[in-house]
């Protein structure tokens, strides 16, 4: 897709509006810029990050439209609250978005254990008719560790 004839300021305004609507990470904004046609790809043939993206990313971080810690906390909250994901799947999702490991680990420490284990109990109850093997496999795919599953099953 060819670059549209917008100035850097106009692309920045679009990105700020996108980030103001809901919490996003840098990977989301890069992907959106590609969809909009602002950048061809994330890097050129030499592996260098596109200058337009570098400038926009830097400004978005400076103006606090992008904030890795805030994004990680929001992501974890939503995945636990609405999709009932386990710790392992959440961590993999955040790593796939190329967020700093330090921010991921810090946000995981803030995870609401009460809601987390309540979700696990509900999932176990919903799948009580399944064989134990099938239930364990399902819960593992949801991102719960064997220790977490064992802890809930035997309490």
Total domain count, the chain: 2
112/127 same-domain check: yes
pLDDT at 52 > cutoff 90: no
Q: Is residue 51 part of a domain?
A: yes
Indicate whether 48 and 75 sit together in one domain: no
* Separation between Cα atoms, residue 122 and residue 47, nearest integer Å: 46
Do residue 82 and residue 132 come from a single domain? Answer: yes
- Cβ atoms of residues 69 and 101 within 8 Å: no
Residues 29 and 100 in one domain: no
Q: Considering 40, 62, 84, which residue would you say is the last residue of a domain?
A: 62
* Pairwise CA distance, residues 62 & 149, whole Å: 42
Distance between first and last Cα of the chain:
56
pTM above 0.95, yes or no: no
| Structure confidence by residue, pLDDT tens digits, 70-126 | 999 999 999 999 999 999 999 999 999 999 999 999 999 999 999 999 999 999 999
Task: Give the DSSP per-residue string, 57-98.
Answer: HHHHHHTTS--HHHHHHHHHHHHHHTT---HHHHHHHHHHTT
The strand pairing partners of 140, in sequence order, are none
Residue 51's pLDDT band, with cuts at 50, 70 and 90, is confident
Say whether both 74 and 145 belong to one domain: yes
Of the pLDDT bands very low, low, confident and very high (cuts 50, 70, 90), residue 133 is very high
Range of the domain at 75: 68-153
- Is 57 within the bounds of a domain? yes
Signed CA dihedral, 46, 50, 55, 61: sign only: negative
């Amino acid at each position: 897709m060819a670059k549209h004839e917008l100035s850097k300021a106009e692309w920045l305004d679009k990105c700020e509006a996108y980030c103001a609507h809901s919490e996003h990470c840098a990977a989301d904004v890069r992907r959106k810029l590609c969809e909009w046609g602002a950048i061809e790809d994330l890097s050129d043939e030499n592996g260098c990050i596109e200058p337009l993206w570098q400038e926009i990313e830097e400004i978005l971080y400076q103006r606090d439209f992008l904030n890795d810690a805030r994004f990680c906390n929001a992501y974890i909250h939503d995945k636990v609250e609405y999709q009932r994901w386990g710790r392992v799947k959440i961590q993999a999702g955040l790593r796939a978005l190329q967020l700093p490991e330090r921010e991921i680990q810090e946000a995981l420490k803030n995870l609401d254990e009460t809601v987390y284990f309540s979700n696990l109990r509900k999932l176990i109850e919903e799948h009580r008719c399944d064989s134990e093997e099938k239930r364990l496999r399902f819960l593992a795919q949801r991102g719960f560790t064997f220790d977490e599953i064992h802890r809930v099953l035997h309490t």
